[in-house]
């Protein structure tokens, strides 16, 4: 499959972020003169795309360093960049395109980390999915199941959200829609016991990937976090090792608040990667940069719509290229 086809959903999901960011950047560099305040305006544009102040400042400072060796600017001229205006279009001077390319390269540098690939190398694999209420965990579990089933894996899903009204029914509906078997328990059943049954079925039957949905929970609800820890202990004991991946699902439309959620979960449970939902309806795609750069976590998947196939792998290169 060609790259542009493989990541088309992902690129399309960035449309609102791209539109908002490009509009602001183009307005900055549409004049015949680059004023000292323009780099401050660029920093503001990045922040409004939900990049943190710290990271936005680092990006702008990185841009200054990248253009410091351009003919006619040099280190001394670079030091004066924030003090004097630089005319666009002059030979050797900074142009809007130069700044845009430097911005793109700087963003790539922030999100290009040498993370290991998703751990799905064993004959039997387990993914645990966590997060707060309302971020789209159950929908994401259904999409992930189809994603891997389409790639030759025999998938089983566990519905460990046994307390939310219609939680089990929602996941079973996804199972019917995608043809994937769902292990579920009775209402108010101990979620850890459902996880145990699902792991045992993974081991005993001809399945090679178990995806476990959990109830939404806040970090400050001690009993819910203890319940999540119990689920992980049961998985480890039944399977002989911890889950191969523990993904936290966050909602792009919540912006920096989602970053706080990830930090809080990281303090209480090992997180191996992030899945970002609702990116197609939000202009806050800048949160991706902070997840990778500040939290040092890989973004693994992007939710790009409602239908079962609307989930895409994350690509740092395509993310940066698609913004400009």
87 vs 199 pLDDT, higher one: 199
At 264, list the tokens. 């809080």
The top-level CATH class assigned to 3-111 is mainly alpha
| Residue 177's pLDDT band (cuts 50, 70, 90) | confident
Distance CA 84, CA 224 (A): 56
Place of tokens 């579990």: 141
| Residue 34's pLDDT band (cuts 50, 70, 90) | low
pTM: 0.85
Q: Is the pLDDT of residue 4 over 50?
A: no
72 vs 121 pLDDT, higher one: 121
DSSP string, 18-80: HHHHHHHHHHHTSSSEE-THHHHHHHHHHHHTT--HHHHHHHHHHHHHHTTTSTTTHHHHHHT
What confidence tens digit (pLDDT) does each residue in 123-145 have? Answer: 899 999 999 988 989 999 999 99
Q: Is the pLDDT of residue 83 over 50?
A: no
Distance CA 297, CA 74 (A): 36
> What is the per-residue pLDDT for 203?
95
Name the CATH architecture for the domain at 125-322. 3-Layer(aba) Sandwich (3.40)
Distance CA 100, CA 97 (A): 5
> What is the per-residue pLDDT for 1?
43
Helix (H) or strand (E) holding 98: helix 96-111
Q: Is the pLDDT of residue 73 over 70?
A: no
Query: In the predicted model, what is the mean pLDDT of residues 44-63?
Result: 88
> What is the per-residue pLDDT for 162?
81
Task: Please answer whether residues 239 and 232 qualify as being in contact, where contact means their C-beta atoms are separated by less than 8 angstroms.
Answer: no
Of the candidates 310, 223, 302, the one whose C-alpha atom is nearest the C-alpha of residue 14 is 302
Distance CA 102, CA 60 (A): 9
287 vs 10 pLDDT, higher one: 287
Mean pLDDT of the chain: 81
Do the domains 3-111 and 125-322 sit in the same CATH topology, yes or no? no
Cα-Cα-Cα-Cα torsion 231, 308, 216, 238, nearest 10 degrees, comes to: 0
Task: Please answer whether residues 28 and 41 qualify as being in contact, where contact means their C-beta atoms are separated by less than 8 angstroms.
Answer: yes
Highest mean pLDDT: which range of 2-16, 60-74, 96-110, 259-273: 259-273
| Residue 210's pLDDT band (cuts 50, 70, 90) | very high
DSSP string, 257-321: HHHHHHHHHHHHS---EEEEE-GGG-S-TTHHHHHHHTT---EEEEE-SSSTT-EEE--HHHHHH
Strands 273-277 and 299-303: parallel
Distance CA 263, CA 185 (A): 31
Query: In the predicted model, what is the mean pLDDT of residues 140-161?
Result: 94
pLDDT cut 90: percent of the chain above it: 38
Residues 6+ apart with CB under 8 A from 54: 294
Give me the residue spans of the domains in the chain: 3-111, 125-322
> What is the per-residue pLDDT for 115?
92
Distance CA 254, CA 273 (A): 18
| Residue 157's pLDDT band (cuts 50, 70, 90) | very high
Strands 181-184 and 155-160: parallel
């Amino acid at each position: 499959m060609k790259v542009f086809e493989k990541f088309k959903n992902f690129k399309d999901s960035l449309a609102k972020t791209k539109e908002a960011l490009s509009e602001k950047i183009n307005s900055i560099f549409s004049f015949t003169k680059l004023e000292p305040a323009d780099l401050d305006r660029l920093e503001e544009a990045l922040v409004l795309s939900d990049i943190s102040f710290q990271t936005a400042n680092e990006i702008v400072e990185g841009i200054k360093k990248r253009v410091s060796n351009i003919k006619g600017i040099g280190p001394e001229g670079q030091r004066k960049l924030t003090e004097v205006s630089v005319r666009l279009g002059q030979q050797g001077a900074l142009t809007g395109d130069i700044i845009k390319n430097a911005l793109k390269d700087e963003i790539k540098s922030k999100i290009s980390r040498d993370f290991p690939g998703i751990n799905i190398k064993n004959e039997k694999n387990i993914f645990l999915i966590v997060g707060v209420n309302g971020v789209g965990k159950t929908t994401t579990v259904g999409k992930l199941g189809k994603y891997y089933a389409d790639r030759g894996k025999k998938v089983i899903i566990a519905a460990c959200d046994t307390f939310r009204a219609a939680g089990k029914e929602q996941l079973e509906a996804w199972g019917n829609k995608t043809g994937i078997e769902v292990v579920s328990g009775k209402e108010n059943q101990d979620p850890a016991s459902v996880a145990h049954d699902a792991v045992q079925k993974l081991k005993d039957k001809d399945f090679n990937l178990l995806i476990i949905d959990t109830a939404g929970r806040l970090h400050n609800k001690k009993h819910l976090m203890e319940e999540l820890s119990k689920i992980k202990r049961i998985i480890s004991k039944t399977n002989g090792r911890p889950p191969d991946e523990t993904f936290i699902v966050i909602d792009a439309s919540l912006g920096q608040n989602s970053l706080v959620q990830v930090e809080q979960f990281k303090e209480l449970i090992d997180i191996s990667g992030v899945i970002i939902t609702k990116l197609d309806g939000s202009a806050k795609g800048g949160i991706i940069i902070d997840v990778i750069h500040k939290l040092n976590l890989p973004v693994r998947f992007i939710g790009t719509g409602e239908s079962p196939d609307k989930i895409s792998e994350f690509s740092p290169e395509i993310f940066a290229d698609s913004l400009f």
